[in-house]
Structure 1
């Protein structure tokens, strides 16, 4: 069997088993075992085992459970609620002020934990009912919650960027530095869209000037208390990384300790909260590790078969401008993102794509930012965008999945525009390196 036929058979096997409803981790692991035994025999099994060992013993991977644990504590404490109420200082009487406030909160929550799913659920519980009660158009309210909650793919300390760094061998600290401007541009674009729509049609922004009177009043000390701890924690985590004081793993440990201390000082710490946070951490990290193990085996076997050389020669042999090849990769990410989870896409595609990106002379840090934006698109894109299902689990019964996916379309367009901007101007990501 030639490598060309083996490639088509491997891809069709993966998608065929996924259609049957098998989990991605088991699909990749099963296909890897079949191709290992069928192509090489039992002698290649230790080589595949070494791929697993190399993945699960990666030191930077320890940062992932730390950030997930931080997100679990935020989900179950009142810190996020206080932050939401205090963030009114940034929105004031702007058109769509509560929606703008929600986006600021989403950015701060992402800067603390880097987790997406829990953030959408949290905003769905805190912000969505508030906006609907104030008369916001449900398309604005839903879109802001889903798009804002998905900022965790971009805002450091993003788990997506950590996994990309592990796979590509690129400095995670450099990825965090490069991601800050694109993440801020993305949030600013969301805010500009909300303000524009609510200014053009005040009915979309709810009660307008009555918003302030309908919300609970806060003193300056209450506002400072609500913002203080999250800002301090985010500043400690990101400042220690950007300043070269601590590695990503060490900063994650400091952040987890900081959130735990803040919860304790607020008088909210108890065994139920701790147990729930640890359970969420085990479930999330277990999913990431199992998918990573399966994908590492599959990619390792495929590379041993010569698949990486086949794909590389096929792509580099195209008589087109290098930037068009990058655009084709982006299109592949977008299409796969409609059906696969981001961790699966990262584990399956990046080991093959990144060497090609380097051979073409592009900066892998820049490519990592493009990948992160792309995964944010996949997070809210139909038909299987996870953000929609997270929000549906906590949204009022009258809000359907059709409503949610329809509300996300303008924000998908904004994400694609920012992706195009980063493609056209790579220096927006690499200026700080």
Structure 2
């Protein structure tokens, strides 16, 4: 088949642009090229791929993490938590936006589902920001950037999918992405405080005084914040400490979130049913894409795709950094049109073996890849985060304001990306500290 295997990626992109679903596009390209190259024996190869995905223990964490997020979303836990956070940030410049970002960070750590975090926090925070006269662009940038943290704050569904591809422990990847994720959240908050200090009209101060005593504030915060924080600490703590696999940690989290619903007196069988339906729907979509990606990569590598890519790079005389730059640019562009899980499967199945041949640390490269993916998720004109926001934003928030609003936050992400490229230890020191 020779270099013809390199046509698989352009063919896939054409099908996606035409409007075919991602999973079916990858399956169709794999089927066409596979039959041409291998004939009927392809059926056996595909059956093997189905068995590998179905028996992958790590992927069992996906529905459990989704269930955690779905229950948290529907149990009303978020409203109380948001009120507690804003109670402490209200006197800061842009205090409501700071509370929204803190909420996004906590929910990203509780669910791992990107779109759910942005939608939930946006529905809670946007009405209050508009009521207090916050600038529409600041509102848009805050909600979009906060929602994007679900890509890089553990436990992240894209990380769980990525781990088997790069043949690294999920714990290493989650620990590696934690520091960059928290750096981003911190930089977002610093930007808001600085911008609102320099331009107070961006976020007028809350005129309503808070009459609660310190004891009342501490009691309310403990009731609203401690149980969810304990749940997150349990899930991530057992995972990082090696006491539980990702699937076991997610199972503990799913059980814990049901206990939280009971604790807050929001438990009902209807809540469990609705959360289960959402879990099944999202899990089916994600695993269909994972299976399609496995089929696509299987045909690509068996047809000599790896050698063809390496030969093409050698023909252009690219060095290590040039190869990394090419991969990251392609990833960034794909982020405009393709969902996160699909990009992970399409790009990393090809990129990781390539960068390994150049002696690049796959853990560091995976973290840089995820940060690039998150930046693409936020970047106009095709930013998925803006599409999520448009679905919940009121009519007075215009698309132009959303585009302008995310630009400062994109700059913050680019700073983090530059730091990762300059100081690789930012991505690797936490896994070494935890796992040695």
TM over 0.5: yes
Matches within 5 A, 1:187-198: 187-198=185-196
- Could you tell me which residue of structure 2 aligns to residue 178 of structure 1? 176
Q: CA deviation at 1:111?
A: 1.1
Q: CA deviation at 1:255?
A: 0.7
Which of 21, 38, 41 is the equivalent residue of 2:39? 41
- Could you tell me which residue of structure 2 aligns to residue 5 of structure 1? 4
Matches within 5 A, 1:200-211: 200-206=198-204, 208=205, 210=207
- Assess, with a 3 A threshold, how the Cα gap between structure 1 residues 4 and 197 changes in structure 2: closer, same or farther: same
Tell me if the contact between 1:36 and 1:45 (Cα under 8 Å) persists in the aligned partners: no
Count of residues in Structure 1 that have an aligned counterpart in Structure 2: 430
- Could you tell me which residue of structure 1 aligns to residue 241 of structure 2? 243
Q: CA deviation at 1:213?
A: 4.9
Of 238-247 and 395-404, the range deviating more from structure 2: 395-404
Show structure 1 runs of 5+ residues with no match.
none
- Could you tell me which residue of structure 1 aligns to residue 412 of structure 2? 414
Please state if 1:349 is matched with 2:352. Answer: no
Q: CA deviation at 1:14?
A: 1.6
Query: How far apart in 2 are the matches of 1:211 and 1:22?
Result: 52
Query: How far apart in 1 are the matches of 2:333 and 2:356?
Result: 23
Q: CA deviation at 1:19?
A: 2.2
Q: CA deviation at 1:136?
A: 0.8
Look up the SS of the partner of 1:362 in the other structure: coil
Look up the SS of the partner of 2:207 in the other structure: helix
Query: How far apart in 2 are the matches of 1:211 and 1:181?
Result: 36
TM-score, structure 1 as length reference? 0.95
Please state if 1:14 is matched with 2:12. Answer: yes
- Could you tell me which residue of structure 1 aligns to residue 85 of structure 2? 87
Please state if 1:152 is matched with 2:165. Answer: no
RMSD: 2.0
CA offsets, 1:373-420, max 9 Å, x none?
A: 122122222333222222222211222333323322221222122112
Look up the SS of the partner of 1:431 in the other structure: helix
Matches within 5 A, 1:326-345: 326-345=324-343
CA offsets, 1:78-113, max 9 Å, x none?
A: 111111111135525211111111111111111111
Q: CA deviation at 1:77?
A: 1.3
Show structure 2 runs of 5+ residues with no match.
none
- Assess, with a 3 A threshold, how the Cα gap between structure 1 residues 95 and 177 changes in structure 2: closer, same or farther: same
Please state if 1:220 is matched with 2:218. Answer: yes
- Could you tell me which residue of structure 1 aligns to residue 134 of structure 2? 136
Please state if 1:322 is matched with 2:320. Answer: yes
Of 45-54 and 317-326, the range deviating more from structure 2: 317-326
Matches within 5 A, 1:387-398: 387-398=385-396
- Could you tell me which residue of structure 2 aligns to residue 255 of structure 1? 253
Q: CA deviation at 1:53?
A: 1.7
Look up the SS of the partner of 2:283 in the other structure: helix
- Assess, with a 3 A threshold, how the Cα gap between structure 1 residues 406 and 40 changes in structure 2: closer, same or farther: same
Q: CA deviation at 1:318?
A: 4.7
Query: How far apart in 2 are the matches of 1:199 and 1:330?
Result: 35
TM-score, structure 2 as length reference? 0.94
